[in-house]
Amino acid sequence: AQSVAQPEDQVNVAEGNPLTVKCTYSVSGNPYLFWYVQYPNRGLQFLLKYITGDNLVKGSYGFEAEFNKSQTSFHLKKPSALVSDSALYFCAVRAADSNYQLIWGAGTKLIIKP
């Protein structure tokens, strides 16, 4: 079965420190991987995606993610966290047998402390 796992419910980071939000996936075939962010009382906003090419993908707001095929991971990273990065982060993968359906992780709450 295809799935996405975000092993941490919450990640706490001090402002200015690097942050990592973890995501692993299980999907048949080549994965299309995504990160979305949800700010309080807001919708989901696209951050970045991996389709093919370089394993390190850069996205919005200074975020990047590294695709690791052998570890089936797609961790989200940022070199220096901002308090405004505090939000809920979702990893998602496009199902191999679907052109439309995204499979979502449970989300990780990121808290950046001043």
Partner 1 sequence: EPEVTQTPSHQVTQMGQEVILRCVPISNHLYFYWYRQILGQKVEFLVSFYNNEISEKSEIFDDQFSVERPDGSNFTLKIRSTKLEDSAMYFCASSGRGSRNTGELFFGEGSRLTVL
Contacts to partner 1 by CB under 8 A? 32, 34, 36, 41-46, 49, 51, 90, 92, 94, 98-107
Q: Which is nearer to partner 1, 31 or 81 (CB)?
A: 31
Q: How far apart are CA 63 and CA 42, in angstroms?
A: 19
CB of 92 to partner 1, least distance (A): 7
CB of 39 to partner 1, least distance (A): 10
Q: Which is nearer to partner 1, 81 or 91 (CB)?
A: 91
- Report the DSSP beta bridge partners of residue 5: 24
Q: How far apart are CA 5 and CA 74, in angstroms?
A: 10
Strands 32-38 and 44-50: antiparallel
Q: Which is nearer to partner 1, 46 or 79 (CB)?
A: 46
SS3 62: helix
